[in-house]
Amino acid sequence: MRWTLKPKPDIAVVNDLAEALNVNHTIASLLVQRGIETYDQAKKFFRPSLEDLHDPFLMKDMDKAVSRIEKAITNGENIMVYGDYDVDGTTSVALMSSYLKTISPQIATYIPDRYAEGYGVSYQGIDYAHDNDISLIIALDCGIKAIEKVAYAKEKGIDFIICDHHRPGEQIPDAAAVLDPKQEDCEYPYKELCGCGVGFKLIQGLASQRGQTIDDLLVYLDLVATAIGADIVPITGENRVLAYHGLLVINANPRIGFKAMLSQVKKETLTITDLVFIIAPRINAAGRMKHGLHAVNLLTEQNFETALQFASEIELYNSDRKDADKSITAEALAQILDHKEEERYTTVVYQEDWHKGVIGIVASRLTETYYRPTLVFTKSGKKLAASARSVKGFDVYNALEACSDHIEQFGGHKYAAGLTLLEEQYDAFKQKFEKVVASTIDKTLLTPEILIDSTIELEQITPKFYRILKQFAPFGPGNMTPVFMTEGLKDTGYGKCVGADEKHLKCRVEKNDAAINAIGFNLGSKHELITEGQRFKLAYSIDENEWNGNISLQLKLKDIN
């Protein structure tokens, strides 16, 4: 691991903020590193307010989208809410359809089949709309590149409203309205919304025209917070406000579907991390293993008994997903080991029978293991489909764009993307992708980095210090959990490897008469660094440990040197 200490912020700014907020210099420094330099900015950070949400009509085409929906409702048109099968897509469909059903009974939902239709807007979905006399499709978390499909729908008398957050191509679809803050001519102040976030702005626009306030929309924020966590968008600005209030909703009054999913999980207060690791995989499992509509049905269900039934089905899908993920990861790792003699800057693997629903997870696992831009391919119909994952600091979307002469279609973000290509293009693509990455990646990015916010001493870790740190949440990209470093530490003599394969490290560290417990997951191999009274340094975050009803602070270790 590379340890990188963040540059120290301007001391004068830190001093002023520490005085204005009556906090210590370490806390003030952490805030300044996050771009918070004044009392007012700190107030907005620690007390995210729904009043800080932007006017939805600042988004390009919002007025067109709202008036087209109002026209459809007035004329009694059938409306179809269309979204992808991942967490962002299914939460978006649940959000939009449940809001529209409070205004009109003529609302249908549609999630494409991952295997028969693939990612994004499909001809099959448009044909379904046409066959069912649907004249307006609201596409969420997809559609920004669906030029031909939107034109095909128009020929059939069907209008599209696109709510997307992916990067647009050179051409924008000829839709009734295109909502995507990443359009170059869109002046919306916040560019990092997820698909469900863009959908929320649309219902905010509709609600404001109907005399409703933000308080009438609070019930939808649990879905938005889940999508923000799962889609790994920055938890800054508007996303931070939406995630913060969404978590309040989840913890105070979760929707029936969440209650059903959580009935098997003993967790009192959910954090954004819990949404990512408990709720999101279950929602995702439906689209990965069966069909995304199962997730929408659970998220919109009003009857608890029925929701419990749906949740137990989804639990099974999630269990199947875990099994598939485990076996495919093992096969992919074996494939890589077979070709280990080649020194490569990328990891590209393919097997035609791998489950398409889990190749994204496998790509993430391989990236964690070998820390290279990674592609996992499988056979999908007559083509090959792949999921791409990247390492921090490297834009895999741009790399795929440079290989587009070998690709049928692709889409996604800087760190995660999907693509399809013809089988005969696979070898040429693999070579080109390796060449592009090798010539453009900064080689230091191929070693995982631990970004350290600040060096501190053990005596600074007090309950009061931790109470303030907790208020930095929700954490995520753009506002990560603070990581600290302390040097010159010694183990008190109780350090040991724990866990099934002794993979983890448990110890108690001391310096200057202060001591604290520490846990290092997957750091068992570093045990010898802390034995025999050696001095060492730790990179860690601070956490609470509950044992037999007692709560104490502990260090959650990132690395030992």
**Is 194 among the domain residues?**
yes
CB 466 within 8 A of CB 553: yes
Alpha-carbon distance of 457 to 317, in angstroms, equals: 46
Is residue 20 situated within a structural domain? no
The pLDDT, as a whole number, for residue 339 is 75
Query: Containing domain of residue 142, as a range?
Result: 56-313
Q: What is the mean pLDDT of residues 325-330?
A: 96
96-130 per-residue burial string, b: 16 or more CB within 10 A, e: under 16: bbbbbeebeebbebbbbbbeebbbbbbeebbebbb
**Which of 413, 446, 479 is the endpoint of a domain?**
446
- Are 263 and 360 in the same domain? no
Same domain for 543 and 440? no
Within-domain flag for 263: yes
In a domain, 326, yes or no: no
Q: Is residue 283 part of a domain?
A: yes
Average pLDDT rounded to a whole number, residues 314-320: 93
pLDDT at residue number 267: 78
Other beta carbons within 10 angstroms of residue 448's beta carbon come to 13
Q: Looking at the domain assignment, is residue 322 inside a domain?
A: no
Q: How many CB atoms lie within 10 A of CB 187?
A: 9
Residues 442 and 455 in one domain: no
> Which of 260, 295, 313 is a domain's end point?
313
Tell me which of 414, 446, 478 is where a domain ends. 446
21 is a domain residue: no
Residue 341 confidence (pLDDT) above 60: no
Is the predicted pLDDT of residue 353 greater than 80, yes or no?
yes
Same domain, 269 and 345: no
Nearest by Cα to 455 from 30, 23, 45: 30
Which is more confident, 333 or 549? 333
pLDDT average, residue stretch 214-236: 95
**Residue 163: per-residue pLDDT:** 98
Identify the CATH number of the domain in which residue 412 sits: 3.10.310.30
Same domain (yes/no): 367, 508: no
Task: Identify the CATH number of the domain in which residue 285 sits.
Answer: 3.90.1640.30
Residue 316: helix, strand or coil by DSSP?
helix
CATH at 514: 2.40.50.460
Mean per-residue pLDDT, 221-237 = 95
- Is 275 in the same domain as 419? no
Q: What is the mean pLDDT of the chain?
A: 95
pLDDT in tens, 25-77: 999 999 999 999 999 999 999 999 999 999 999 999 999 999 999 999 999 99
| CB of 180 closer than 8 Å to CB of 198 | yes
Distance from C-alpha of 509 to C-alpha of 408, rounded to nearest angstrom:
55
Query: Helix, strand or coil for residue 115?
Result: coil
Cβ density class 263-287: b for 16+ within 10 Å, e for less: eeeeeeebbbebbbebbbbbbbbbb
Q: Are residues 434 and 411 in the same domain?
A: yes
| pLDDT, tens digit, 9 for 90 and up, residues 389-442 | 999 999 999 999 999 999 999 988 889 999 999 999 999 999 999 999 999 999
* Residues 387 and 410 both lie in one domain: yes
For the chain, the domain total comes to 3
pLDDT in tens, 5-18: 999 999 999 999 99
Name the 3-class secondary structure at 136: strand
- 27 lies in some domain: no
**342 pLDDT more than 80:** no
Task: State how far the Cα of 542 lies from the Cα of 557, in Å rounded to an integer.
Answer: 9
pLDDT value, residue 548: 84
